[in-house]
Amino acid sequence: MIDLHCHLDLYPDPEAVATRAMSEGMYVLAVTTTPRAWAGTRTLFSRFSRIRVGLGLHPQLVRERHGEVSMLCELLTEARYVGEIGLDGSPEYADSLSTQRSVLERILAACAADGGRILSVHSRGAATAVLDALEAHPKAGLPVLHWFSGTSKELDRAVRLGCWFSVGPAMLRNDKGQRLVSAMPRERVLTETDGPFATEQKLPLMPWDVSIAERWLAQVWNTSDSDVKERLAGNLKALTTAPPLRR
């Protein structure tokens, strides 16, 4: 199983969660929300061979932490994965949108200048603005849009721009999410939880709860659970073995 967007460092006992995820044979991308968390999070999970850490600056923190973008750019040479980054245009965060935009521009430009990265990208309430930024920085790397919630038109544009998608139980339990997922190219879809922020029946999702997303995918794709698992494993391999460039 694959959790390509999980805030693994933010569970009350991250090592216990990591240990269980490894015993389930999982691959996990542990995204961070601030570059200050990078070094500690990497150290924390260094003994787990199937956990990768993303270097991030969450758009919801940019109002207070925009100054940390320099730190992110300095650390970039150490990171293969960048995330969580992006834009949040929902009412609570819209006032910082122009700062968010300039932070994202700087990160994408830095990634482009250093050969590109695999990017885990937040786009809630700001899909068009995120796609504008990605279009302006075609060499920034391979964007994986996490929990995409834009319109179907915005989705079409994301597909044309070469974006990938990580989808989780919280997205797949509603009709809109299912419709969006059914329109995504299957060879560019991976699973995620966004735990512990995303919840299921008021409990934080755990990395292994991607099994819920796998079952939804089997329904949406009208195929078997084993076919879903095979496709997702193939997709992860394609994502991580190719250079981080859009195709």
Where do contacts with Mn ion occur on this chain (CB under 5 A)? 84, 194
The CA-atom distances, in angstroms, between 242 and each of 84, 162, 163, 236 are: 21, 14, 14, 10
Question: Residue of minimal CB distance from Mn ion?
Answer: 194
d(CA 74, CA 172): 37
CB nearer to Mn ion: give 194 or 214: 194
* Rounded-to-integer distance, Cα 167 and Cα 194, Å: 9
The Cα–Cα gap between 215 and 173 comes to 11
Please, which residue, 154 or 194, has the CB nearer to Mn ion? 194
| 3 versus 194: smaller Cβ distance to Mn ion | 194
Beta carbon of residue 74, minimum distance to Mn ion (angstroms, whole number): 23
For the CB of residue 247, give the shortest distance to Mn ion in the complex, in Å.
25
Q: Which is nearer to Mn ion, 147 or 216 (CB)?
A: 147
Least Å from the CB of residue 126 to Mn ion? 14
Please say which residue, 58 or 157, places its beta carbon nearer to Mn ion. 58
Closer residue to Mn ion (CB): 61 or 232: 61
Report the nearest approach of Mn ion to the CB of residue 227 (Å). Answer: 28
Q: How far is the CB of 59 from Mn ion (least distance, A)?
A: 10
Structure token digits, residue 161: 């721009």
Q: Is the CA virtual torsion 16, 167, 111, 115 positive or negative?
A: positive
Identify which of 209, 146, 148 has the alpha carbon closest to the alpha carbon of residue 176.
148
Q: Where are the alpha helices (DSSP H) in the chain?
A: 14-23, 38-45, 62-65, 69-75, 97-113, 127-136, 152-160, 169-172, 175-183, 210-220, 225-241
- Residue 151 is which amino acid? T
Closer by beta carbon to Mn ion, 104 or else 231: 104
Q: How far is the CB of 84 from Mn ion (least distance, A)?
A: 5
Least CB distance from residue 5 to Mn ion, whole Å? Answer: 6
Which residues lie across from 167 on neighbouring strands?
A: 191
- Distance CA(101)–CA(59), nearest Å, equals 9
